[in-house]
Structure 1
Amino acid sequence: MFILQQATYIHPNKDVLFENINFIINKNDKIALIGNNGAGKSSILKIIAGKLPLSSGMISCSSKPYYIPQTHDEYHELSIAEALGISGKLRALHAILQGEATAENMELLQDDWPLEDRCEQALEKWGLSGLDLERKLGSLSGGQKTKVFLAGIEIQEPEFILMDEPSNHLDQDGRKLLYDFVEKTNKTLLIVSHDRQLLELIPQIAELSRDGIRLYGGNYSFYAEQKGIALDALNHQVQSQQKELRKAKEKEKEAIERQNKLNARGKKKQEGAGMPKIMMNSLRNKAEGSSSKLKSVHKEKISGIQSQLTSLRSILPEIDQMQFGFENSDSYRGKLLLEAQEINYKIPSNDGINVINDSEGSNNGRFLWNEELSFQIRHRERIAIKGLNGSGKTTLIKILLGILEPSKGKLLSNSKRYVYVDQEYSLIRANQSIYEMAQQFNHAGLQEHEVKIRLNRFLFDKQTWDKSCLSLSGGERMRLLLCCLNISNQAPDIMVLDEPTNNIDLQNILILTQAIKQFQGTLLLVSHDEVFLKEIGIERELSL
């Protein structure tokens, strides 16, 4: 079905993303491709889809793949039909039905007479009934854009499907449809995802790293178990090398002390025997040479062990030290922070927002929710805001944070400080370097070396400090934001996270999970990642 052989891809900026990769996918295989942010997962999918050229190597594919992208910016000005690659067929079908049965139109249509019915049924299945195929894709929400491309599977009827983070932005209904499709289809699938529920349904996991692609013959649980065994073995190696290093240093100390005693004893005998000065100098030089040789032997052995230990430690995940590190809040548990009294929000009639816009979810001039919302939020609660795409989750967050005013009802607030982390981690400013961004949060006046120690702790070493934030991946932006919040050390009353796991890899999800567990304040979260919600200890839900 597909072969990638000795494949290398070099960015236009000359950075080597991956090299000499070998990868084979057989017919009816279902494989999840995972790896750290920046490893090249999305690039491999784009190469297979024909959207990026290989720098070197060979690619062979027996069937044209259907590609579902992670981001949709390049499609925004296209109609839905153009984005799905069916605009030519639809024009030909309409022309033929109007009497223009030319050879050109017949060739374009390729006898695909049920195309319109298939489009209607596919869009209805994904909750997009009545969607005009001539509408611009850019006018849809993130969830609807993904659903359009997922509907395209039934419209295009491909044999080989590439999916890049397909569950991003999908609501629970959309995710259920996706999971059912992946579980039941006999089509060939290659899926890049960090969605652990989805990964459990995929029978093979392929991990992309600097060493190439390694295939695990099992789902995510099997992969995690194997990685756990490997990590345990690695930790055992590290402990063993640490023990060996201690022993080597002890032996070096004992040997040097023994040699020094022998040298001192020999010198004393020489002086007592009245030995000539020239002979004493010769014997002293010989003793010093023996000591130097002894030190050199031990130093070489210790250096070798230290080198092995450093190499082993570099492989270990460095997540334990990454946490918010806020000072303790002065609020007591249970203190009332926010109270919504029968609030609702009306979309202004002149802002042109459509009914299926995810942020607003309402026709122009209509109230966003069928019923007014009343609820309380207290200190140290952990609350998930849930609802289908278009139900107004983001709008509710903006009302609670005072960014928007409710059109009806009252919002009472006792909170002084909040941190709002959106899906793009936009607190990180693209026009600044990593070090400049860290200094923006240095409210406590930490010295330069202290700021740089914190950056190192969050895996930003000296070589990255001048790097532009614009070039950072989703996971790197998340880590830098954690670092900045750690530097600020100012505990917010409320932390709000809007789909925080959408653009980060599995390792960074683990880092974020551990950091949130350390947070002692109130947490408001929009997420469809049920595993993540369970791990961070969500206590109740606000369902829209």
Structure 2
Amino acid sequence: MLILQNVSYLHPDKDLLFDNINLTLNRYQKAALIGHNGVGKSTLLQLAAGVLSPSGGLIKTDSPPYYIPQLYGQYNQLTIAQALRIDARLQALQAILDGNVTEENLTTLNDDWAIEERCREALQYWQLSDLDLNQKIECLSGGQKTKVFLAAIAIHKPELVLLDEPSNHLDVAGRELLYNFISASNSTILVVSHDRKLLNLPDTVFELRSSGITVYGGNYSFYQEQKQLQDNALVDDVKSKEKALRKAREVERASLERQQKLDARGKKKQEKAGMPTIMLNTLKNNAEKSTSRLKGIHAEKVGTIAQELHELRKELPDLGKMRLGFEASDLHKGKVLVTATNVHYSYSGRQLWQQPLSFQITSGERIALKGLNGSGKTTLIKLITGALEPATGTLQRADSKAIYIDQDYSLIDNRLSIYEQAQNFNITALQEHEVKIRLNRFLFTKEDWEKPCCTLSGGEKMRLMLCCLTIASHAPDLMILDEPTNNLDIQNMEILTSAINNYSGTLLVVSHDQYFLEQINIQRTIEL
């Protein structure tokens, strides 16, 4: 159904992402594609979908794949019908029903007389019955956008479905619908996700690394068990190689000491024997060459073992922890930052909430903002930050510094390199080496500094955003995170949790990941 043979991909800047990738997905098979952020999971899906072209290798599919991307900003100016590529058929059907039975309309409809009914049933399954297909995508919440594209699977009935983080923006009810849908689907499915419940549904796991793909014949829980065994073996290999390196260095040192003693003893004998100077110099040169050759042999052996050890250590799973190492907020704990009184907001004259909102946010709190998809969480955030003003009621904001990290990481300028982006936040004039130390701490090594931000994965952008906050040094009084775990792999979710727990300011978090909310010590909830 889907075959990748020796596939490689170069970024536009000629930076190699991966090489010699091989993957076979059989008809009706359901598989998860996992790997660390930045390894190329989303790129691999785009290659399989035909959105990108490989730099080398061959990609074959039996039928056109249906691809659901991770982000939807490129569809914002389209209507729902246009984004789902059903607008022409719907228009043709309506024209025919109105009596305009032309060859062109019949060809466009292509005997798909049930298109309206399938749309209605698909939207109803995903709890989107109230949506108008002529609505602009930009008017929808993140969860609604995801559901719209998921609904299109039932509309188009593709044989091959490629899903990139489909549960990211879904609320709890939406995730349950997704799990049921994937379990019941007859389509061949390849899914990229960090949602552990979702990852346990497929019967195969493909782990993508820069060196290739490893196949695990089981779900994610099986993969974890196998990885633990491999990690344990890797730790044993590291310990064994460390022991071999110590032994090689001891042998090197002992051999050189022995050679030096032999050379010194030989020199004394030669001097006592009264050899001519020219002969002594010749013997001395021979001894030095012998010692140098011996040094070279041992140095090569030690160097080889050291390099092997370095490669093994790079494979170890623990990449260390990142910290939000900036100064604490100047605001005293308990200072009122936001006071909302009978606040309402309207879209096209329609009020967003059934009841007006009244609440306070005080300094030092950790708050979760919850609600179903479309309940107005993003709108409320924009009201809190001052990007929008309420239609009715009052919203008072104290003089404080707030930062909003949205789902699209709009604070990252895709035109800049990673280092240039970091320098944009260098308001305290840190020295160049200090900025690079911070980048290294957040896992951006010197090989990454000149990469353009547009090539970064969602998880890498989140890490870079956190790094930029530490470079800015002074903590924001209020930090707002909109679905911060959406584009992170499991390892980076743990790193993010550790980083947030080092932040002492006020935290407002939108997340459907209850485990994550518990880990960052959320104290209360604003429910929409």
Q: TM-score range by the shorter chain?
A: 0.7 to 0.9
**Residue pair 2:366, 2:507 contacting (<8 A) in 1 also:** yes
* Separation (CA, whole Å) in 1 of partners of 2:98 and 2:490: 53
Bigger mean CA offset, 455-464 vs 272-281: 272-281
Residue 158 of structure 1 aligns with which residue? 158
Structure 1, unpaired ranges of 5+: 355-362
How far 1:215 sits from its partner (Å)?
1.9
Residue 238 of structure 2 aligns with which residue? 238
Matched to 2:258, the amino acid is R
**Residue pair 1:322, 1:482 contacting (<8 A) in 2 also:** no
Q: Report the secondary structure of 1:144's partner residue.
A: helix
Matched to 1:373, the amino acid is S
**Residue pair 1:341, 1:374 contacting (<8 A) in 2 also:** yes
Q: How does 1:123-272 map to 2 (within 5 A)?
A: 123-272=123-272
1:502 and 2:500 aligned: no
Q: How does 1:112-511 map to 2 (within 5 A)?
A: 112-272=112-272, 274-317=274-317, 319-327=319-327, 335-338=333-336, 343-347=341-345, 353-354=347-348, 363-364=349-350, 366=351, 368=353, 370-377=355-362, 379=364, 381-401=365-385, 407-408=392-393, 411=396, 413=398, 416-511=400-495
Matched to 1:219, the amino acid is N
Q: Report the secondary structure of 2:481's partner residue.
A: strand
Cα 1:480–1:236 shift into 2, 3 Å? same
Q: Report the secondary structure of 1:518's partner residue.
A: coil
* Separation (CA, whole Å) in 1 of partners of 2:407 and 2:215: 31
* Separation (CA, whole Å) in 2 of partners of 1:95 and 1:182: 35
Cα 1:7–1:445 shift into 2, 3 Å? closer
**Residue pair 1:120, 1:130 contacting (<8 A) in 2 also:** no
1:543 and 2:527 aligned: yes
Q: Report the secondary structure of 2:344's partner residue.
A: coil
**Residue pair 1:345, 1:369 contacting (<8 A) in 2 also:** no
How far 1:70 sits from its partner (Å)?
2.6
**Residue pair 1:338, 1:411 contacting (<8 A) in 2 also:** no
RMSD over aligned Cα atoms: 3.2
How far 1:174 sits from its partner (Å)?
1.9
Q: Report the secondary structure of 1:345's partner residue.
A: strand
* Separation (CA, whole Å) in 1 of partners of 2:337 and 2:472: 28
* Separation (CA, whole Å) in 1 of partners of 2:467 and 2:233: 30
What is the CA deviation profile of residues 205-263 of structure 1, one whole-angstrom value per residue up to 9, with x for unaligned ones? 21222233222122222223322332332233223222322222233223323333333
How far 1:181 sits from its partner (Å)?
1.0
* Separation (CA, whole Å) in 2 of partners of 1:448 and 1:300: 36
* Separation (CA, whole Å) in 1 of partners of 2:402 and 2:262: 69
What is the CA deviation profile of residues 326-365 of structure 1, one whole-angstrom value per residue up to 9, with x for unaligned ones? 3466778xx31436655343336xxxx45xxxxxxxx44x
Bigger mean CA offset, 94-103 vs 291-300: 94-103
How far 1:299 sits from its partner (Å)?
0.9
How far 1:20 sits from its partner (Å)?
3.6
Aligned length: 527
* Separation (CA, whole Å) in 2 of partners of 1:41 and 1:330: 41
How far 1:370 sits from its partner (Å)?
1.0
Cα 1:231–1:482 shift into 2, 3 Å? farther
Bigger mean CA offset, 415-424 vs 120-129: 415-424
Cα 1:520–1:259 shift into 2, 3 Å? farther
* Separation (CA, whole Å) in 1 of partners of 2:111 and 2:166: 31
If the length of structure 2 is used for normalisation, what is the TM-score?
0.87
Cα 1:243–1:522 shift into 2, 3 Å? farther
**Residue pair 2:343, 2:358 contacting (<8 A) in 1 also:** no
Matched to 2:341, the amino acid is I
Cα 1:248–1:17 shift into 2, 3 Å? closer
How far 1:368 sits from its partner (Å)?
4.2
* Separation (CA, whole Å) in 1 of partners of 2:74 and 2:472: 37
* Separation (CA, whole Å) in 1 of partners of 2:514 and 2:299: 53
* Separation (CA, whole Å) in 1 of partners of 2:458 and 2:372: 24
**Residue pair 2:72, 2:145 contacting (<8 A) in 1 also:** yes
Cα 1:424–1:412 shift into 2, 3 Å? closer
* Separation (CA, whole Å) in 2 of partners of 1:118 and 1:399: 37
Structure 2, unpaired ranges of 5+: none
Cα 1:116–1:527 shift into 2, 3 Å? same
Bigger mean CA offset, 286-295 vs 394-403: 394-403
How far 1:526 sits from its partner (Å)?
0.9
Cα 1:134–1:481 shift into 2, 3 Å? closer
If the length of structure 1 is used for normalisation, what is the TM-score?
0.85
How far 1:504 sits from its partner (Å)?
3.8
Cα 1:221–1:494 shift into 2, 3 Å? farther
Q: How does 1:23-172 map to 2 (within 5 A)?
A: 23-101=23-101, 105-172=105-172
What is the CA deviation profile of residues 144-171 of structure 1, one whole-angstrom value per residue up to 9, with x for unaligned ones? 2221111122222333322222223222
* Separation (CA, whole Å) in 1 of partners of 2:251 and 2:261: 15
* Separation (CA, whole Å) in 1 of partners of 2:208 and 2:465: 25
* Separation (CA, whole Å) in 2 of partners of 1:113 and 1:405: 45
How far 1:96 sits from its partner (Å)?
3.3
How far 1:386 sits from its partner (Å)?
0.8
* Separation (CA, whole Å) in 2 of partners of 1:79 and 1:400: 29
**Residue pair 1:196, 1:531 contacting (<8 A) in 2 also:** no
